[in-house]
Chain A
Amino acid sequence: MPELGVLLPYDYSPLTILAFVLVLAAYGYALLRMPEHHRPGAVRIVAFVVGVLLCYGVMQTRFDYYSQYMFFVHRGQHLILHHIGPFLIALSNPLPVFRFWQQRLSPVLVSALKPLGLIYRLLQHPLIAPILFVGLIYFWLWPAVHFDAMLSRDLYWLMNWSMLLDGLLFWWLMFDPRSPASGTALGYGKRMLILALVALPQMILGAWIVFSRGMVYDVYEVCGRAWPMAPETDQLLGGLLTWIPPAMMSVLAILILLRRAMHEDERAAGRPPNLKGETVS
């Protein structure tokens, strides 16, 4: 197979490709058309694009093949879809792009999207968001559910998309650049508490997988692995990927928020608060 073949999707999904193309196109168009002083800096643009491309890469390249037939690669896929990709996208602060499009959407469309706003606010409730975040991980890793999800193409796509969308919601709630002091954004203390709380159950689940004696996820046994690897090794690596990197993401996010909170404190002490609601980070 030619080298370029690895970049082609294993399971071609036109809807997924369309979604990613639309997101990148909307982002690029907004960048070109928005006034200079609103435009995000190069680092933020790179963070956004890398986040999007990472998610695309694990869904629509050869990586997806290995995710379907190796447990630990599957865990890596979800680490990117639910953590790293959305983490980068939220951290890149695409708020100016949202505003750009909000101003250009017709009022009819905006009012038609109202119900979506209600669902959004419900899902972003500080009690519901962390439960949803951890709950989805537990749901799709429930052995019986996981078995079905790996057997059914529809469920498999539902699983990956739900992880990606929930990842975006959660990390956006955590990294919302609007200052809690001057807006409705969640306070930094609450955000840090949520980050610490979601790390715990993920660590417990990962440790449980790592220390399980038997085969927890035998679907990879039943369906054949992509290459001959001892099932115990596969499960051990997958468990470690569930256990350690997500916990580190929480720690990293807490550090970023601490820094942001300290900056805002300093600014509040020296200057009037930032009413424009845009912080740089």
Chain B
Amino acid sequence: MIRWLAVALATLTLTGCQAEPENWHGKDIQGLMPDLAFELKGTNGDTVTPADSRGQVRLLYFGFTSCPDVCPATLAKLRRAVNDMPDPLAGDVTILFVSVDPQRDTPERLASYAAFFGDRVVGLTAPEPRLRDLTKRYRTTFGYDEPDAEGNYNVSHSSAVYAFDRSGEARLLLRPDLTAEQVTEDLIQLASAAPD
């Protein structure tokens, strides 16, 4: 009981401390989520970890290349948001597109899909169990529909983008209802902050 109260108090205090006067359009998730960590397969077959984009502002997004509308719309919005950033900062943002459909998303397919949305996008995937671990870490999930006659199936996945600062700390959850302008403003603020 005392232990529980202590945890409750500690949590309340911590949450209280986070209420800084920062103004974000996205949802502030600092302290709520673990920092950026993954080991995934890149489009050239190499293993990719956060160290490959060290010091960058990272945007993590789960999707799949056969995604009819949500994924292209989100990635197009992110591309616009990053391109609208002032010059030196725009190069400091990496978009990590993690396909949760490794069966259909071959490295080639993922590479051309990522390239379509600009050179800031890195296409990544992994065998399903590893993807399950990663989505669990960020408290999201994905699921597959039954395939239709042509073998096409839909995939349910998170609709939000996770933003990590230069030191890899989880900072923002960008909900799908944000505009590209709002994302740009948040990204400028994130990228301008000095790394810890």
- Please list the residues of chain A having a beta carbon within 8 angstroms of any beta carbon in chain B: 10-11, 65, 68-69, 115-116, 119-120, 147-148, 150-156, 158, 161-162, 165, 218, 221-228
Contact = CB atoms under 8 A, between A and B. Distances in A.
A115 B33 CA distance: 34
B2 A115 contact: yes
B1 interface: yes
B73 to A, nearest CB: 15
B33 A151 contact: yes
Contacts of A158: 7-8, 11
B5 A151 contact: no
Contact of B29 (A120, A151, A154, A165): A151
A50 B5 CA distance: 27
Contacts of A120: 1
B121 interface: no
Interface residues of B, number: 32
Given A152-B32, A158-B7, A222 B143 contact: no
Contacts of A156: 139
B160 A223 contact: yes
A151 B139 contact: yes
B2 A119 contact: yes
Interface in B95-115: none
Interface in B21-52: 27, 29, 31-34
B156 interface: yes
A148 to B, nearest CB: 6
A153 B158 CA distance: 17
Contacts of A150: 139
B187 interface: no
B142 interface: yes
Given A151-B173, A222-B175, A224-B158, 17 more contacts: A119-B2, A151-B33, A152-B31, A152-B32, A152-B33, A152-B139, A155-B32, A158-B7, A162-B4, A222-B140, A222-B159, A223-B140, A223-B160, A224-B141, A226-B141, A226-B143, A228-B145
Given A119-B2, A147-B27, A227 B156 contact: yes
Given A224-B156, A228-B143, A148 B32 contact: yes
B29 A155 contact: no
Nearest to B18: A148
Greatest chain B CB density within 10 A among A218, A224, A225 is at A224
Contact of B158 (A65, A115, A222, A227): A222
Query: Which of A68, A148, A156 gathers the greatest number of chain B CB atoms within 10 Å?
Result: A148
Contacts of B135: 224
A228 B175 CA distance: 19
B77 interface: no
B154 interface: yes
Nearest to B154: A228
Contacts of B175: 218, 222
Interface centre among A156, A223, A228 (most CB of B within 10 A): A223
A15 to B, nearest CB: 10
A227 B143 contact: yes
B157 interface: yes
Residue in B139, B156, B160 whose Cβ sees the most chain A Cβ within 10 Å: B139
A166 to B, nearest CB: 10
A119 B5 contact: yes
A79 B156 CA distance: 27
Contacts of A223: 139-141, 158, 160
Nearest to A68: B139
Given A151-B33, A155-B11, A224 B5 contact: no
22 contacts: A65-B141, A68-B139, A69-B141, A116-B1, A147-B27, A151-B29, A151-B33, A152-B32, A154-B11, A158-B8, A165-B1, A222-B159, A222-B175, A223-B140, A223-B141, A224-B142, A224-B143, A224-B158, A224-B159, A226-B143, A227-B143, A228-B145
A148 B143 CA distance: 23
Nearest to A218: B175
A69 to B, nearest CB: 5
A162 B34 CA distance: 23
A161 B4 contact: yes
A224 B140 contact: yes
Nearest to A70: B141
A207 B136 CA distance: 32
B32 to A, nearest CB: 4
